[in-house]
């Protein structure tokens, strides 16, 4: 089974699985097609996190393909004259572009787990890019709604011109050529040789300062295999990607706090359930902003943040009748969590794509990938969008007394919110695997879906379609145009600042219920869940 954001990507994955491919083989094929049909969101110019559960051994691992800053990066990368750059200036600058991680992550995972030849897995995307196909409806909407694309030569020449055809067609021979090199040479075909050389030229020619890349930054990039972060929620065990992603820790913290309340006795439209979710989310985001960064550069107190006693203390701060005035970060690892740590600022994140795969042996894979903002840095090279992931760093590096854990540095990976997640039942068997797109909203989209399945006994498709609701420390956000809007007055009575917002989540998942597998796909996108 494959659940992804476009039917062509789903079909590519199913074809691989039908030939006896491993879940990792299918993931390579799915991701390469998504890089064509969802080019603004995802592709080989970006990065991601891959969560893999191996059925035979019962083990779970994470491949970290997050982008890195070049060796030349300094904490003042996005500051001038002591002031932070405006985000609108930082995104299309060379300084926003990180060393892409997706090609290395997929190749390294395939080297360990793949069964079918690497080159064979790239052929569906190559064929589609060469032949052309009808432009996906979502991509047409994105192009039509983003008027800023006129300002940037790369996106204007490629996206705008193709959307202006009658009917709109998607054709990318430059990407096909790049993928052929990647197919023939493996990851070296991307990080060294002609592709790398042209990448270096493109980011050097970027507006508002070049990226500061050197050939060694590309040649030395490697994905990192890491242990997942895991924690209990009621009778289940949940595992996700850990730092440099904050998503897994935040999801597990939110659920760890909500475990103190009887959500199962409430419902999806119960104002108190929404209030509790919002308060737990505010506390988790306060900790996230305070502590999480690249673990190779800063010490992240993962065990303390997920300690059940700490989460019970944090949950005790939640008043079931009233929103707290301010959600402060706690002091994980210490007995008293009421002491307030100095609070840090929030980073900026959005964009992304997610898909989930189940192979014939029961191996499960969830992969979240991203260019960061839609259309990334607004720069293209050799047919693919270049990410702007380095704007996920904190622009203000903090002080010498209290440096920000997510400040830029050479070789460092910016904090992410990606949260591919696996749920195991009490017997250690997979119950559910999913993830989402949506920047820092990913955390809320994933939590909503998990609660709907695990506490409210919804099937995965209904859980995904449920109206989105989340809190990122910026006010309670409710999905516009949904019945959930009716709860806004009740939430304001609790003391919440309520915002009605359009929210294009992209949750794609697979669940096992009574020995049967079924999938769900987010109806807000063009995708589907399909199996055989």
- How would residue 145 be classed by pLDDT, with cut points 50, 70 and 90? confident
DSSP codes joined into one string, 370-405: E-SSTTTTS-EETTEEPP-GGGGS-SS-B-SSSB-T
Interatomic CA distance for residues 460 and 251, integer angstroms: 18
Domain ranges of the chain: 2-133+171-225+352-392, 134-170, 227-345+416-519
Does residue 350 have a pLDDT over 60? no
- Whether the per-residue pLDDT at 398 is higher than 90: the answer is no
Residue 145: is the preceding peptide bond cis (ω within 30°)? no
- Tell me how far apart the alpha carbons of residues 5 and 38 are, in angstroms, rounded to a whole number: 8
Mean pLDDT across 353-373: 96
> Which of the two residues, 145 and 172, has the higher pLDDT score?
172
* Closest by CA position to 200, among listed 31, 108, 70, 340: 70
Which pLDDT score, from 0 to 100, does residue 274 have?
Answer: 98
pLDDT value of residue 337:
36
Per cent of the chain over pLDDT 90 is 89
Q: Tell me what percent of the residues of the chain surpass a pLDDT of 70.
A: 97
3-state secondary structure of 352: coil
Residue 469 has pLDDT above 90, yes or no: yes
63: Cβ contacts below 8 Å, ≥ 6 apart: 49, 50, 52, 105, 108, 109, 223, 224, 225, 226
For 189, list phi and psi in degrees, rounded to 5.
-70, -15
Task: Supply the pLDDT for residue 345.
Answer: 43
Helices within 235-350 (DSSP H only): 247-258, 271-291, 302-306, 308-315
| CB 483, CB 269: distance < 8 Å | yes
**Which residue, among 339, 316, 318, 315, has the nearest Cα to 329 in the 3D structure?**
339
Helices (H), 100-148: 102-113, 118-121, 123-131, 137-145
DSSP symbol at 135 = P
Mention every residue, 6+ apart, whose C-beta is less than 8 A from residue 74.
408, 409, 410
Length of the chain: 532
Whether 342 has a pLDDT exceeding 70, the answer reads no
CB 238 within 8 A of CB 428: no
Closest CA to 466 of 518, 509, 422: 509
| pLDDT band for position 38 (cuts 50, 70, 90) | very high
Burial class (CB in 10 A: 0-12, 13-18, 19+), 383: buried
Q: Note the pLDDT tens digit of each residue in 113-128.
A: 999 999 999 999 999 9
User: Which residue, 304, 412, 430, is CA-closest to 365?
Assistant: 430
Comparing CA positions, the residue from 272, 350, 277, 288 lying closest to residue 315 is 277
Helix ranges, 205-270 (H): 215-219, 247-258
**Please, what is the average pLDDT of the chain?**
94
- State the pLDDT confidence band at 147, using cuts at 50, 70 and 90: confident
Average pLDDT rounded to a whole number, residues 500-512: 96
Average pLDDT over residues 247-251: 98
Cα-based distances in Å from 209 to 196, 204, 287, 348, 371: 19, 8, 33, 21, 20
Distance CA 338, CA 345 (A): 20
Could you give the CA distance from residue 279 to residue 84 in angstroms, rounded to a whole number?
30
Taking residues 207-211, report their average pLDDT: 79
User: Is pLDDT above 90 for 334?
Assistant: no
339: confidence class by pLDDT, cuts 50, 70, 90: very low
Return the pLDDT at 351. 62
Exposure b/e, 425-443, CB count within 10 A at least 16 = b: eeeeebbbbbbbbbbbbbb
pLDDT digits (tens, 9 = 90+) for 313-326: 999 999 999 999 99
Q: Do 419 and 368 form a contact (C-beta atoms < 8 A)?
A: yes
pLDDT higher than 80, residue 199 = yes
State the pLDDT at residue 402.
82
Segment 448-460 shows an average pLDDT of: 98
Band (513; pLDDT cuts 50, 70, 90): very high
pLDDT at 401: 78
**Residue spans of beta strands (DSSP E) within 360-480:** 364-370, 380-381, 384-385, 421-424, 430-435, 469-471, 476-479
For residue 335, the model assigns a pLDDT of: 42
Identify the CATH number of the domain defined by range 227-345+416-519: 1.10.246.130
């Amino acid at each position: 089974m494959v659940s992804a954001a476009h039917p062509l990507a789903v079909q590519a994955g199913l074809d691989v699985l039908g030939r006896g491919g491993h879940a990792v083989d299918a993931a390579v094929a799915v991701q390469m097609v998504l890089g064509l049909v969802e080019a603004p969101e995802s592709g080989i110019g970006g990065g991601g996190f891959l969560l893999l559960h191996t059925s035979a051994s019962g083990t779970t691992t994470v491949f970290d393909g997050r982008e890195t800053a070049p060796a030349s990066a300094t904490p003042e990368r996005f500051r001038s004259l002591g002031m932070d750059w405006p985000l609108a200036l930082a995104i299309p600058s060379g300084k926003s572009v990180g060393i892409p991680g997706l090609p290395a992550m997929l190749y390294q995972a395939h080297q360990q787990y793949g069964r079918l030849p690497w080159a064979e897995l790239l052929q569906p995307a190559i064929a589609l890019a060469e032949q052309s196909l009808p432009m996906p409806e979502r991509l047409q909407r994105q192009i039509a709604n983003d008027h800023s694309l006129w300002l940037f030569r790369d996106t204007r020449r490629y996206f705008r011109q193709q959307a202006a055809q009658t009917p709109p067609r998607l054709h990318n021979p430059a990407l096909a050529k790049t993928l052929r090199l990647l197919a023939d040479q493996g990851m070296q075909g991307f990080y060294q040789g002609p592709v790398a050389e042209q990448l270096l030229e493109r980011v050097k020619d970027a507006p508002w300062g070049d990226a500061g890349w050197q050939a060694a930054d590309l040649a030395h990039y490697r994905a990192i295999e890491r242990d997942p972060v895991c924690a209990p929620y009621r009778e289940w065990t949940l595992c996700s990607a850990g730092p440099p992603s904050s998503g897994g820790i935040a999801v597990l913290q939110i659920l760890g706090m909500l475990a103190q309340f009887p959500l199962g006795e409430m419902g999806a439209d119960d104002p108190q359930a929404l209030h509790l979710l919002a308060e737990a989310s505010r506390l988790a985001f306060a900790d996230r902003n305070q502590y999480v960064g690249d673990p190779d550069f800063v010490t992240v107190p993962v065990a303390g943040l997920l300690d059940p006693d700490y989460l019970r203390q944090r949950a005790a701060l939640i008043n079931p009748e009233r929103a707290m005035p301010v959600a402060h970060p706690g002091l994980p690892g210490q007995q008293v969590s009421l002491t307030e740590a100095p609070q840090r600022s929030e980073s900026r994140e959005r964009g992304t794509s997610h898909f989930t795969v189940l192979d014939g042996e029961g191996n499960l894979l969830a992969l979240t990938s991203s260019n960061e903002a839609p259309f990334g840095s607004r720069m293209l090279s050799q047919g693919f969008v270049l990410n702007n992931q380095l704007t996920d760093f904190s622009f203000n590096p903090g002080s010498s007394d209290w440096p920000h854990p997510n400040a830029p540095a050479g070789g460092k990976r910016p904090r992410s919110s990606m949260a591919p997640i696996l749920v195991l039942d009490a017997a250690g068997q997979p119950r559910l695997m999913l993830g989402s797109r949506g920047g820092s909203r990913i955390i809320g989209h994933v939590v909503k879906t998990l609660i709907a399945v695990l506490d409210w006994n919804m099937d995965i498709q209904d859980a995904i379609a449920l109206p989105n609701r989340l809190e990122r420390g910026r006010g309670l956000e409710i999905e516009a145009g949904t019945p959930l809007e009716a709860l806004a007055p009740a939430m304001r009575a609790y003391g919440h600042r309520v915002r009605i917002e359009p929210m294009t989540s992209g949750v794609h998942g697979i669940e096992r219920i009574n020995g049967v597998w079924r999938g769900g796909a987010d109806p807000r996108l063009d995708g589907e869940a399909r199996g055989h």
